[in-house]
Amino acid sequence: MATLDDLKKRIASVKSTQKITKAMKMVAAAKLRRAQENAEKGRPYSEKMNNIILNLSSGISDKENAPKLLSGTGEEKIHLCIVLTSDRGLCGGFNSNIIKKAKAYFKKIHEAEKTLKIITVGSKGYDQLKRVYKDNIVEKISFKDSKTINYLDAEKVGKLIIENFEEKEFDVCTIFYNKFKNVITQIPQEQQIIPLKTSEVEGNSSDDNYEFEPDEDEILSNLLPKNISTQIFKAMLENSASEQGSRMSAMDSATRNAGEMVDKLTIEYNRSRQAAITKELIEIISGAESL
Amino acid sequence: MSEEFKIEIVNPEKSFLSKEDVTEVVVPAFEGEMGILRDHISIISFLKPGIIKILSKSGEENYYVEDGIVEFKNNNLSVLTSSIFNIKDMDKDKISELLKQAEVHSVNSEITDQDKYLVDQKIDVLKTLN
């Protein structure tokens, strides 16, 4: 059995852990609010962008010569996966959920005997994937230094993807991220960005006749690269809100668990203190009796 | 009949501006400046660097943009841009800083013709502001 001193130390250490988790929870809650606001503010842009592209692509006359970013290369041999994760840990199942989703997809690609390339954004994703998929990772990006999510970072990733696409490094590009639903639930998402899936959303406004200046093709070929950066930016915003939400609930339950543990340890401590006192008393009494 | 329409300017971070009582907007479209009034035909176009002028009941507002897309539909004008500044908030230092960047970019030999055209536009606009 643990001695009284050991128990005392345990209790003190659990208590200080609890203090840390509590503080982290508070910080995450404050950051969450900001991240959530940012994610909501960013939505109109990506929605509008999506709408315009839908309108354009439904109006495009010559499907054969449509920009490759929209129609694809015509092959599906090489898959590029962008895995967006966080740079910091201690956020519950946040990172492992994305990785799990991504790994299921990787497995499918392997079974279909296609080539897989991975770009990780955020250091935690790289840490988890490097053991199994080290040879597949072509690039790892981390925005540890930038304090807030900004569009320039997303644009860097977007440009990298487009450069690779133009050099015919891959045929299909999918991004993985967590969609923020609420503080408790974050849904891991896989979204194909190249070639763009237009069938997902019904073309409800395709009957509108737009005037284009310059012509459709030119607008579309300029817009699509921008759309990729926008989608990545959206994913990054959702991800950061999810990360904070996930961390908040993880730290909340950690604080609660620490509280329970302190209670249990305190009871054990008091019991052994009592036992020691009783033992001493018995010794004194039996000593006195023998006299 | 009302002559007003709605404008919304969004950038990736947030909704930059939203107004319901706009009477006229002049945007620097790719192939020249374009004035938009109520009941304009649906249009999608690019922006080149320039000034967006918004006329409304409350007065005139000017914004400097570097790129973007405009969409006009059902008397809703949406402007999507990643770089927009209110001219009132731009001081001389800011302008000359942007100008310097643009000039450095413009002498870059690897620049494509289209980029060159856009950068030159930018320089022109910034010079008029300065």
Could you give the CA distance from residue B89 to residue A142 in angstroms, rounded to a whole number? 33
Structure tokens at A251: 């730290």
Residue that is written with structure tokens 């230092």 in the block: B93
CA distance A101 to chain B (A): 27
- Interchain CB distance below 8 Å, B15 and A41: yes
Do the interacting molecules here have an ipTM over 0.90?
no
Q: Do A44 and B45 touch (CB under 8 A)?
A: no
Question: How far apart (Å, rounded) are the C-alpha atoms in residues A114 and A106?
Answer: 10
| pLDDT 10s digits, A227-244 | 888 888 889 988 999 999
Q: Which of B8, B43, B73 sits opposite A213 (nearest CB)?
A: B43
Confidence of residue A199 (pLDDT cuts 50, 70, 90): low
pLDDT digits (tens, 9 = 90+) for B18-59: 888 889 999 988 888 889 898 888 888 888 888 899 998 888
Adjacent-strand bridge partners of B69: B46, B80
Among the partner-chain residues A208, A219, A230, the one whose CB lies closest to the CB of B73 is A208
**In angstroms, what is the C-alpha Rg of chain A?**
28
Same domain for B56 and B99, yes or no, is: no
Q: What is the pLDDT of residues A206-231, one digit of tens each?
A: 456 777 777 777 787 888 888 888 88
Options 2.50.20.10, 1.10.3720.10, 3.30.2290.10, 1.10.287.80; CATH for A4-21+251-290 is: 1.10.287.80
Whether A95 shows a pLDDT value over 50: the answer reads yes
Query: Is CATH 3.40.1380.10 the classification given to domain A35-248?
Result: yes
Indicate whether B80 and B104 sit together in one domain: no
Q: Give the pLDDT mean for A58-76.
A: 71
pLDDT at residue A202, as a whole number: 47
Residue A256 is predicted with a pLDDT of 96
Q: Write the CATH number for B40.
A: 2.60.15.10
Residues of A that are catalytic: 91
For residues B17 and B67, membership in a common domain is answered with yes
Collect all residues with Cβ–Cβ distance below 8 Å to A281 and sequence separation of at least 6. Answer: none
DSSP, collapsed to helix, strand or coil, labels residue B5 as strand
**A35-248 matches A4-21+251-290 in CATH topology:** no
User: Please, which residues 1-60 of chain A have a Cβ atom closer than 8 Å to chain B?
Assistant: 38, 41-42, 44-46, 48-49, 51-52, 55-56
Average pLDDT over residues B102-115: 75
**Conformational region of residue A116, where left means phi above 0, alpha means psi within -120 to 50, and beta covers everything else:** beta
Q: Write out chain B residues lying below 8 Å of A159, CB-based.
A: none
Mean pLDDT of the region B100-106: 79
Looking at the fold, whether B9 and B51 belong to one and the same domain comes out as yes
pLDDT at res. A203: 47
Q: How confident is the model at residue B130 (pLDDT cuts 50, 70, 90)?
A: low
Contact A25, A248 (CB under 8 A): yes
Decide if pLDDT at B73 tops 80: yes
Neighboring chain B residues of A219 at a CB cutoff of 8 Å: 44-46, 69
| Structure confidence at residue A220 (pLDDT) | 79
Domain hosting residue B120, numbered range: 90-129
Do residues B54 and B105 share a domain? Answer: no
Number of domains comprising chain B: 2
Domain edges within chain A: 4-21+251-290, 35-248
- Using the beta-carbon criterion (under 8 Å), do A48 and B10 form an inter-chain contact? yes
pTM, two decimal places: 0.83
pLDDT tens-place string over residues A123-176: 888 998 988 888 888 888 888 877 777 888 888 888 888 888 888 888 889 999
Q: Do A41 and B13 touch (CB under 8 A)?
A: yes
B114 vs A224 pLDDT, higher one: A224
